[in-house]
């Protein structure tokens, strides 16, 4: 089944002269890494085809892995559209993906919607970049992977695996990452860029450490209003990045950050260890992975409801899992 899907995708790539790659809104390292990485592989392998990765380049800290393309609507006619790293069609960036002639989804999130003509989802990989590398390995004889693909693919793997620390990291994933490192990537430069934070973020991080709350069964959370973001001079993207600040609190197996958006909705980033939380995200306009999901709520009341559901889940979990920490 998997090999069959890969073959079908490869045949479609051979068939089309124009290939347009789309991604999800609010792109992260794996999202941009996989779209730009795939584009660079296809450009190097098929110099006569027109290949684009569509986006607005609004994620500045990732510009070093490559920039996205702005293209005209007319290019979609007769194009193959590959949507990468995106579980549901409402999160696809740029509605024009609908103008393509044939669509392919390549992803690693829990599949809740088959929105494309071919849907290739590998939840056994911890990053879509690993899915792309595995695809490349399968058709290695017919494809070229240049250094301009190795860098974004490696960065995507590093970021979506929490720097190679999540359970989905297998020997195979490490071998694929090793294949990329063989391109003499500057690992010190990459990590320096990924860890760099402004003074303002450090100050806000101090606020998060001071002010986070924990429910009786161990859900830790913080709410960052627009006013707070203004006071600390950070934007909502930067504020949302602080979710990992709460990631290792003893006996707190679920943690989340609530960030008020410019349109007043509240972005939720949910994280956990040992216990799944994607079902909670699904109830609040979201989804994602078992232990890393995103959602949106529209009031403080809804926020409290979400926290209460998570707390109840932990209460039940702790009844039968005594040794958790």
Helices (H) and strands (E) in the chain, counts: 11, 11
Label residue 183 left, alpha or beta by phi (over 0 means left) and psi (-120 to 50 means alpha): alpha
88 binding ligand AMP? (CB under 6 A): yes
Min dist CB 87 to ligand AMP, Å, is 5
Return the residue of 9, 42, 83, 87 that touches ligand AMP, per CB under 6 A: 87
Does 289 engage in binding with ligand AMP (CB under 6 A)? yes
Q: CA triplet 88, 93, 99: central angle to 5 degrees?
A: 90
Would you count residue 66 as binding ligand AMP (CB under 6 A)?
A: no
Q: Which is nearer to ligand AMP, 28 or 312 (CB)?
A: 28
Q: Are strands 118-121 and 102-107 parallel, antiparallel or unpaired?
A: parallel
DSSP states of 111-124: -----SSEEEE-TT
Q: Among residues 286, 307, 310, 317, which is the contact residue for ligand AMP, using CB under 6 A? A: 286
Stretch that binds ligand AMP, among 182-190, 201-209, 216-224, 287-295 (CB under 6 A): 287-295
The single residue among 39, 91, 217, 228 that binds ligand AMP, judged by CB under 6 A, is 91
Closer Cβ to ligand AMP, 22 or 289, answer by number: 289
Residues in contact with ligand AMP, shown as a per-residue x/- string from 221 to 260 under the rule CB under 6 A? ----------------------------------------
Q: How many CA atoms lie within 13 A of 210 on its CB side?
A: 7
CB of 117 or CB of 296, closer to ligand AMP: 296
Interface with ligand AMP includes 287 (CB under 6 A)?
yes
Question: Would you say 28 or 94 has its CB closer to ligand AMP?
Answer: 28
Rule CB under 6 A: say whether 108 interacts with ligand AMP: no
Which residues fall within 8 angstroms of residue 249, CB to CB, at 6 or more apart?
A: 214, 220, 255
Helix or strand holding residue 235 (H, E): none
CB of 265 to ligand AMP, least distance (A): 11
The token duo for 165 is 């620390």
Among 258, 272, 294, 297, binds ligand AMP (CB under 6 A): 294
- Specify the residue, 24 or 228, whose C-beta has the smaller distance to ligand AMP: 24
Which is nearer to ligand AMP, 161 or 293 (by Cβ)? Answer: 293
Reduced DSSP (H G I as helix, E B as strand, rest coil) percent helix, strand, coil of the chain, to 5: 45, 20, 35
User: CA-to-CA distance for 198 and 200, rounded, in angstroms?
Assistant: 5
Number of residues that bind ligand AMP (CB under 6 A): 15
Q: Nearer to ligand AMP by C-beta: 188 or 263?
A: 263
Report the nearest approach of ligand AMP to the CB of residue 77 (Å). Answer: 30
Q: Give the CA distances from residue 256 to residues 211, 244, 301, in Å, rounded to whole numbers and listed in that order.
A: 13, 9, 16
Nearer to ligand AMP, 19 or 270 (CB): 270
Cβ-count burial of 70 within 10 angstroms (0-12 exposed, 13-18 middle, 19+ buried)? Answer: exposed
Q: Which residues of 173-194 are buried (b: 16+ CB within 10 A; e: fewer)?
A: beebbebbeeeebeeeebeeee
Question: Which residues would be at the binding site for ligand AMP (CB under 6 A)?
Answer: 24, 28, 87-88, 91, 109, 269, 285-289, 292-294
């Amino acid at each position: 089944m998997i090999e069959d899907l890969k073959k079908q995708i490869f045949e479609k790539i051979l068939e089309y002269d124009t290939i347009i790659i789309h991604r999800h809104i609010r792109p992260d390292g794996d999202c941009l890494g996989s779209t730009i990485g795939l584009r660079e592989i296809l450009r190097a392998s098929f110099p006569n085809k027109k290949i684009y990765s569509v986006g607005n380049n609004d994620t500045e800290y990732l510009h070093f892995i490559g920039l996205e393309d702005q293209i005209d609507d007319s290019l979609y006619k007769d194009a193959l559209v590959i949507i990468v790293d995106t579980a549901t069609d409402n999160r696809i960036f740029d509605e024009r993906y609908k103008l393509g002639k044939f669509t392919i989804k390549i992803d690693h999130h829990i599949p809740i919607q088959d929105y494309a003509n071919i849907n290739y989802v590998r939840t056994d990989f911890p990053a879509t970049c690993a899915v792309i590398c595995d695809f490349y390995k399968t058709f290695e004889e017919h494809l070229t992977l240049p250094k301009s693909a190795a860098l974004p693919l490696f960065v995507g793997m590093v970021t979506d695996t929490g720097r190679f620390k999540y359970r989905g990291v297998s020997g195979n994933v490490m071998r694929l990452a090793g294949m990329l490192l063989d391109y003499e990537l500057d690992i010190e430069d990459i990590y320096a860029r990924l860890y760099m934070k402004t003074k303002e973020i450090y100050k806000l991080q101090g606020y998060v450490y001071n002010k986070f709350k924990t429910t009786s069964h161990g859900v830790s959370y913080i709410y960052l209003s627009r006013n707070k973001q203004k006071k600390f001079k950070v934007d909502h993207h930067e504020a949302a990045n602080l979710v990992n600040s709460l990631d290792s609190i003893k006996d707190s197996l679920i943690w989340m950050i609530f960030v008020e958006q410019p349109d007043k909705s509240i972005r939720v980033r949910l994280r956990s260890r040992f216990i799944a939380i994607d079902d909670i995200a699904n109830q609040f306009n979201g989804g994602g992975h078992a232990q890393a999901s995103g959602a949106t709520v529209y009031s403080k009341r809804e926020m409290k409801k979400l926290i209460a559901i998570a707390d109840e889940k932990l209460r039940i979990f702790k009844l039968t899992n005594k040794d958790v920490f």
